[in-house]
């Protein structure tokens, strides 16, 4: 698996959760869906935020929306 594969899995988990619930998932929810380690998820979320794919309106990832 490449970094891009993991990043796509994280983005898909966020996208699906927002579509289902109207809010972003917690990091632990992303972990349950993807099976990735928490540190790996944090790394991917930061990269997705820096690239503009995700935008947070608050401190926690539940406040994220697609960029």
Q: Is it the case that residue 1 has pLDDT exceeding 60?
A: no
Long-range interactions of 10-17: CB distance < 8 A, separation 24+: 10/34, 10/36, 10/41, 10/44, 10/45, 10/48, 11/44, 11/48, 11/53, 11/54, 14/48, 14/54, 14/61, 14/64, 14/66, 15/66
pTM for the model stands at: 0.86
| pLDDT at residue 18, rounded to an integer | 94
- Split into its structural domains, the chain has a count of 1
| pLDDT at residue 34, rounded to an integer | 95
CATH number at residue 18: 1.10.10.10
Task: Give residue 19's domain range.
Answer: 3-66
pLDDT tens-place string over residues 19-59: 999 999 999 999 999 999 999 999 999 999 999 999 998 88
């Amino acid at each position: 698996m490449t970094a891009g594969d993991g990043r796509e899995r994280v983005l898909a988990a966020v996208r699906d959760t927002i579509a289902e619930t109207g809010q972003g998932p917690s990091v632990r929810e992303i972990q349950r869906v993807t099976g990735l380690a928490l540190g790996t998820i944090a790394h991917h979320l930061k990269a997705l935020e820096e690239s503009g794919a995700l935008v947070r309106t608050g401190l926690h990832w539940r406040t994220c929306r697609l960029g």
